A and B are shown apart, each in its own frame.
Chain A
Amino acid sequence: MAESTRNTPPRAYRRFSPVQRFEHMVLLVSFTGLALTGLPQRYADQSWAQTLIALMGGIESIRIVHRILATILMAEAIFHGGVISYKLFVLGQRATMLPGIRDLRDAIHWVLFNLGLRREHPRLPRYNFGEKAEYLAVVWGTVIMIITGYMLWNPISTASILPGEVIPAARAAHSAEALLAVLSIVVWHMYNVHIRRFNRSMFTGKLSREAMEEEHAEELEAIERGETAPEHPPEVIARRKRLFWPYAIIMTTILVGGLILFITAEQTAITLTTLPRREAAFTTDIDPAIGRAEVGAALWQDLDCHSCHGLDAAGGDSPIGVSIVDRNLEFELFIRAVRRGPAEMPAYSTARASDQDIADLWAWFTSLGTIESASLPAVSGS
């Protein structure tokens, strides 16, 4: 194959534009980061995963990082959609990444050649079957990850539309698809562009002639024949641009809006605050003047307050029922304590103790005044 049809063929060929290289870098960083923060979650019961999670700052931190990277990847997906649309619909380029029957034939040909069953290497196009398979895998994987990721990020919105069972199924798919993607990258991508030949074209933009001969012989031939992509007349391009930009702006607005909705719809899975407790609404705006001390005195026992806090509200026999009357308690704090039930005290909803009841109890406390002698527990001798 060492034919030299030209006297001085160039040593390297331009393969990737700066935009493509930029997109690849974004994908490289986000994919690696997502794998590093995601896979340990799949294997959280393994010690290596726990070590990794600890090194990265704990599970809640990596979940945040994972979501930031996911947002970057989704933004890149939107950007890529725009770039592809521009190339196809404005510049009128051919969809060289689209796989077809030809790629299956190339793959079989290549395998037969590798096994020594065919003499000549297949002459591969600009994007060969291996690259197309990988591109297809990235598109498929990203779509799956975005859909299932949405469900995991927003389980309540999801379950309000779809059956709840979708969420664990999404979790299984997200986790398994991630493993598939990472293993595919490790086996296929690593081998093809790092082990078999260290292919720097994604960083330098250029591919060596030798690599072109083996991996893109058909494209190389076309370049050397002087064939270039068909150029469209400038007025055609200009007309297409006028159509494209409004469409692009509308689509981008919709997609970016969707992305913002995606990441802000709910915070169920990333709430870092302490356990949110269901708490019935209550008001602290009660007028203490409506309280009736004599009613409060009866309520004290009717509501079973005395069981813990003692008959005279000065504290019960047990350590849990504190004294109410010698604490310099404020009315608002008292209301909160009744409604929320601090420590071991049960919360009293408005169904159990009305606002009027609270005012009545308060009036009774006030009538008792500060009872110093009763502030010590009445423990009988034994």
Chain B
Amino acid sequence: MTWRARSALFSIAAGVALCAAGFLLMLATPVTTAQADQPVEAAGDDSACLVCHTEDTPQQMTFADGSQISIAVDHAALLASVHGHSQPDGPLGCSSCHGEGIFPHDNPPAASIREYRVTQSNICIDCHEDQSGNLGDGVHYTALLMGNLRSATCVDCHGAHDVQGPERSAVDIAQTCGSCHQIVYDEFSQSVHGKALLAGDPNVPTCIDCHGVHGIQHPTTALFRNRSPQLCAGCHADEQLMAQYGITTNVFNSYLSDFHGTTVALFEQIAPDVASNKAVCYDCHGVHNIAPSDDNKSQVVRENLLATCQQCHPDATADFPDAWVGHFPPTFDSHPLLFVVDSFYTVLIPVVLSAFIFLVLTDIIRRVRRRISGSDKA
């Protein structure tokens, strides 16, 4: 059925309803006027729209490219959504987002259903300025602006008529992201974080805890990389949180005192936008696939460590991973040579300096005494 033919059929069917709708619109108008000074127009009565946009209408709208969308609207879901009865001024009406519907509607408002969704999402920004403030920095919005219509827009994550508040479960969030990023989700759900998340642990990170929400940074940028150790440290340097899992919080400090960490921290301080090639947490531990450090799947368990080092140091040999001191303070048992060197200089530096200072002081004493006795003579 062509659009034109369907449109004609539409007109006949709708014509019958129009009389009733017109009547209802008249009833609705005074309500709207009464609330005209409200910032959000609570359009009170959607009954005119609901004449056609019933919950179970088989009617489809066809776009120029042939893609179709059902015109059915689950009005109950709308009323139950954040835009429904929970609004202080009453539920938002259809026209709040879709504009004043003049019947019959124009031809399909976009070339494809996807284009329609993306365009329609711009309307969200009208009210949700705060949330969209850093949208422009985010990868999804940037991709949309560059013409990639597949990139996520508001309704892809939040839903449309059934939009719910941001208080969603961590699992729900991960699954929402996973609906596009399936590979990442699959990998994550097998990781130490993902498994715990799916098991209901409230402390482990879900996607947005590391990536952010509206202003999601591309994780391959220098900035993201240079700041990533602090991101991990946000939880892993938190004594209280880590105590629940028996994980040392020394990981961050020991990383910072290592060659890699020192370098990355300096990049972060001095030139955060310049890429450093020194390892950050996820280069060794993995990203979405992080396994417990004693798991045989872990990249940092002793059997796998050489291969992990070889990612950056391809010529590394079997003993090379021992150059990494680890995340625990070195002891005589764990690192005898390092311990001896540290102890040696801990003694040598004060001894040598005290000796020099003592010699200098005796010389100063003599000079002062000579000056006093000299002036006495004079």
Contacts and interface: CB of A to CB of B under 8 A. Distances in A.
B302 interface: no
Interface stretch (B31-39, B98-106, B205-213, B348-356): B348-356
A373 interface: yes
A277 B310 CA distance: 9
Interface string B320-342: 11111100001000011110111
Contact of A180 (B274, B352, B357): B352
B365 interface: yes
A376 B114 contact: yes
Contact of A168 (B114, B267, B323, B362): B323
Contacts of B263: 59-60
Nearest to A173: B341
A176 to B, nearest CB: 3
Given A172-B342, A172-B345, A276-B312, A187 B353 contact: yes
A122 B353 CA distance: 23
> Number of contact residues on A: which range applies?
35 or more
B129 interface: no
A113 interface: yes
A58 B114 contact: no
Given A111-B362, A167-B323, A378-B67, A275 B152 contact: no
A81 interface: no
Contacts of B314: 276, 278
B204 interface: no
A221 interface: no
Interface in B174-222: 179-184
Contact of A159 (B68, B320, B352): B320
Nearest to A129: B359
Main secondary structure on chain B at its contact with chain A?
helix
A315 interface: yes
B67 A164 contact: no
Contacts, number: 191
B325 A168 contact: yes
Contacts of B353: 180, 183-184, 187
Contact of B323 (A45, A165, A381): A165
B335 A159 contact: no
Interface residues of B, number: 78
A379 interface: yes
B363 interface: yes
Given A159-B319, A171-B259, 11 more contacts: A50-B266, A54-B269, A111-B359, A162-B319, A176-B349, A177-B345, A272-B277, A276-B312, A278-B311, A344-B181, A381-B113
* 7 smallest beta-carbon distances between A and B, as pairs: A164-B322, A319-B150, A176-B345, A114-B362, A381-B69, A167-B323, A318-B180
16 contacts: A59-B267, A115-B366, A116-B369, A159-B322, A168-B323, A168-B325, A171-B259, A172-B338, A184-B353, A184-B356, A191-B363, A196-B363, A320-B180, A344-B181, A376-B114, A381-B113
Interface of A: 41, 44-45, 50, 53-54, 58-60, 107, 110-111, 113-116, 130, 155-156, 159-160, 162-169, 171-173, 176-177, 179-180, 183-184, 187-188, 191, 196, 266, 268-269, 271-278, 307-308, 315, 317-320, 344, 346, 373, 376-379, 381-382
